[in-house]
Amino acid sequence: MARRDPQRTQKLRIAVRYLLERECLAKGNQTRLAEHFNVSRQRVHQIVVEERQRFRQGAVNG
């Protein structure tokens, strides 16, 4: 099994946060992000769920 590249994951998280902040994360974007960052769509979905959770917690706390 291949190891995950932490730099690629960090860049993907930044892209997901950017799209979440601007409410631009439409249905087809996860597939496009997966193709661009050369990861599975499931991995992108996992990161989107994690970042949405952080985004909501930040909105509640901030």
The answer as to whether 36 is a domain residue is yes
> Burial of 2 by CB count in 10 Å (0-12 exposed, 13-18 middle, 19+ buried)?
exposed
Domain of residue 33: give its range.
6-61
The answer as to whether 1 is a domain residue is no
Q: What are the pLDDT digits (tens) for 2-56?
A: 678 899 999 999 999 999 999 998 878 999 999 999 999 999 999 999 999 998 8
Report the domain count for the chain: 1
| Paired tokens of 42 | 């499931």
The answer as to whether 35 is a domain residue is yes
The answer as to whether 29 is a domain residue is yes
pLDDT at 28: 87
| Paired tokens of 46 | 């996992």
The answer as to whether 41 is a domain residue is yes
The answer as to whether 57 is a domain residue is yes
